[in-house]
């Protein structure tokens, strides 16, 4: 059986590419639907959902690689002639669908891959590469745009695939020609001399469809990145002896063996501090954190749910502490309250004061179970118990 194409038949390489991609696509579509609709109320359910999504993503990248190879092979090969060149409208429609499918095999997995690279957390790709992509930032806006584009592109792929299958069945059962048989393994050739391919107009038509689909998907994603509803109420500014000018408050959790970093966009801190104290109580801090301002990669919505932070019921967390200074260290000792749980917390930090400007950096580790966060996930294989907290801020003397 010849490896290469001829004017009246497809070669073994082309047929192998065709049926391998068909098998992958017909696996990926239901796999994505099942994974997307699956509940994740328990640790076992979340682990299963993540496993299915990881399989979906890994197979998606496989499709992308195979599709590129398929396209590169196709441009080096003659395409068997049309069996019914006199049916101009039917031929135009078939060629257009073929161009839509070719583009789908690149756009669908690539948009999904970019969406994965732009976010963090949940369902890693099972490949040595692929978690990140060059020139793709960790960005909610980018993730939203390409996530929506992936969904719209998948719809185009499904519609094109359905038309392609229906056309093949028509040729096989109604026209009773060799269209489907010559793509199967063997030496089947065209049963009659065919016509040449005029791919310019079908390619233009397919490009127009994709231009509309991509623009719609990107616009939908960017619009959705602003949120589906009103965000949390902004915390009122506070006045204190040392006025916070800026900083970051972040957390790092480990899910399925990968670190996921998140940050709170809205928090306040009322600080009093006497740098002249060398040993003993030297100040106080009263901080409020807006839980709803947390972004935590692809698991942000999950983190806001009742099994985790329950942001709707408990919109704010607080930390009230006294600051102690010794010759060797500066530490805040107080109470952190998240949800309805108050836990003693010691936060050591580095402090530098230059005139009227102070900078501090500190970190500590919490146990999420102390705050009834993720009680439905008591297996560290899904979500580890320790949560690292990091804070950096700059304040000026008021």
**Same domain (yes/no): 277, 205:** no
**Same domain (yes/no): 178, 299:** no
Integer CA distances (angstroms), 182 to 31, 84, 208, in order: 30, 15, 30
Give the residues of the chain that fall short of pLDDT 50. none
**CATH number of the domain encompassing residue 274:** 2.40.128.110
**Same domain (yes/no): 215, 271:** no
Q: What is the tally of helices (H) and strands (E) in the chain?
A: 6, 10
Q: Compute CA 360 distance to the chain's CA centroid, rounded to the nearest angstrom.
A: 33
**231 in a domain, yes or no?**
no
Question: pLDDT tens digits for 53-108?
Answer: 999 999 999 999 999 999 999 999 998 888 888 888 999 999 999 999 999 999 99
**Same domain (yes/no): 338, 281:** yes
Phi-psi region of 135 (alpha: psi -120 to 50; beta: other; left: phi over 0): left
**Same domain (yes/no): 87, 131:** yes
What is the number of domains present in the chain?
Answer: 2
Integer CA distances (angstroms), 124 to 43, 50, 63, in order: 17, 8, 17
- Read out DSSP for 289-330? EEGGGEEBTBTHHHHHSTTTT-TTT--EEEEEEEEEE-SS-E
Q: What's the pLDDT at 197?
A: 58
Mean of pLDDT over the chain: 91
**1 in a domain, yes or no?**
no
Q: What's the pLDDT at 16?
A: 96
Q: What's the pLDDT at 36?
A: 92
pTM of the full predicted structure?
0.82
Question: pLDDT tens digits for 125-171?
Answer: 999 888 899 999 988 889 888 999 999 999 999 999 999 999 999 99
What is the spatial distance between Cα 298 and Cα 290, in angstroms, rounded to a whole number? 19
**299 in a domain, yes or no?**
yes
**Same domain (yes/no): 268, 377:** yes
**297 in a domain, yes or no?**
yes
**Same domain (yes/no): 289, 324:** yes
**Same domain (yes/no): 267, 346:** yes
**Same domain (yes/no): 192, 283:** no
% of the chain beyond a pLDDT of 90? 70
**Same domain (yes/no): 88, 35:** yes
The residue range of the domain holding 58 is 12-224
| H or E element at residue 347 | strand 341-354
**Same domain (yes/no): 246, 218:** no
Which residue is associated with the tokens 């002896």?
Answer: 241
Q: What's the pLDDT at 200?
A: 85
**251 in a domain, yes or no?**
yes
Phi-psi region of 291 (alpha: psi -120 to 50; beta: other; left: phi over 0): alpha
Q: What's the pLDDT at 14?
A: 96
**Same domain (yes/no): 220, 248:** no
């Amino acid at each position: 059986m010849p490896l290469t194409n001829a004017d009246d038949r497809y070669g073994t390489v082309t047929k192998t590419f065709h049926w391998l991609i068909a098998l992958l696509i017909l696996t990926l579509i239901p796999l994505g639907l099942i994974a997307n609709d699956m509940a994740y109320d328990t640790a076992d359910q979340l682990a299963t959902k993540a496993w299915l999504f990881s399989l979906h993503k890994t197979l998606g990248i496989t499709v992308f690689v195979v599709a590129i190879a398929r396209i590169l092979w196709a441009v080096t090969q003659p395409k068997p002639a049309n069996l019914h060149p006199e049916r101009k409208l039917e031929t135009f429609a078939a060629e257009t669908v073929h161009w839509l499918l070719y583009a789908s095999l690149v756009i669908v997995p690539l948009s999904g891959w970019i969406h994965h690279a732009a976010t963090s957390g949940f369902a890693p790709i099972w490949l040595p590469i692929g978690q990140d992509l060059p020139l793709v930032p960790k960005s909610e806006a980018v993730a939203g745009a390409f996530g929506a584009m992936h969904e719209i592109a998948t719809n185009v792929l499904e519609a094109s695939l359905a038309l392609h299958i229906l056309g093949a069945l028509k040729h096989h059962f109604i026209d009773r020609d060799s269209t489907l048989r010559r793509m199967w393994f063997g030496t089947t050739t065209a049963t009659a001399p065919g016509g040449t391919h005029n791919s310019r107009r079908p390619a233009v038509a397919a490009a127009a469809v994709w231009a509309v689909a991509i623009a719609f998907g990107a616009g939908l994603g960017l619009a959705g990145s602003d949120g589906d509803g009103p965000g949390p109420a902004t915390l009122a500014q506070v006045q204190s002896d040392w006025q916070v000018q800026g900083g970051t408050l972040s957390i790092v959790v480990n899910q399925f063996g990968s670190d996921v970093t998140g940050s709170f966009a809205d928090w306040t801190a009322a600080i009093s501090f006497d740098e002249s104290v060398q040993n003993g109580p030297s100040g106080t801090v009263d901080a409020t954190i807006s839980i709803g301002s947390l972004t935590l990669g692809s698991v942000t919505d999950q983190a806001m749910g009742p099994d985790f932070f329950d942001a709707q019921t408990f919109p704010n967390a607080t930390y009230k502490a006294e600051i102690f200074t010794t010759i060797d260290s500066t530490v805040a000792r107080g109470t952190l309250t998240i949800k309805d749980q108050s836990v003693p917390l010691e936060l050591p930090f580095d402090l530098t004061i230059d005139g009227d400007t102070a900078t501090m950096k500190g970190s500590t580790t919490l146990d999420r179970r102390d705050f009834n966060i993720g009680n439905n996930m008591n297996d560290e294989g899904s979500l580890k118990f320790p949560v690292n907290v990091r804070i950096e801020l700059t304040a000026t003397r008021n």
